[in-house]
Amino acid sequence: MAEKSRLVGYVRKSKAVKDEEGDFLRMSIDVEAFKKAAIYESKDGRQFVTLLARANRVQDILAGEREITSLIQIVLDAEASDKET
């Protein structure tokens, strides 16, 4: 099965929140996309959703060279079609 990415949200530097330790990254996640996200279960029974952002683009955000980047989930084609029906 082929993999594809599903847009789930965005990552940007927070303009509203900052403290003595530095900047915060703000992740805005689309609720409907999150509901469709694939879930995995850890050994202790807790459930998680894995979301990805490209590290080089996040570094660019922190350096002030970029405003925003996408937050995605990698899914198998069969998995994507199951969640969308």
* Chunked mean pLDDT (size 10), the chain, 85 residues: 85 83 90 93 95 96 95 75 48
- The per-residue pLDDT for 71 is 96
Q: What tokens appear for 74 in the block?
A: 């990698």
Q: Which residues contact 61 (CB under 8 A, 6 or more apart)?
A: 11, 12, 13, 25, 67, 68, 69
Q: Which residues contact 16 (CB under 8 A, 6 or more apart)?
A: none
- The per-residue pLDDT for 57 is 97
* Total domain count, the chain: 1
Distance CA 12, CA 28 (A): 8
- The per-residue pLDDT for 21 is 76
pTM: 0.73
Range of the domain at 63: 3-84
Residue 12: half-sphere exposure toward Cβ, Cα within 13 Å: 11
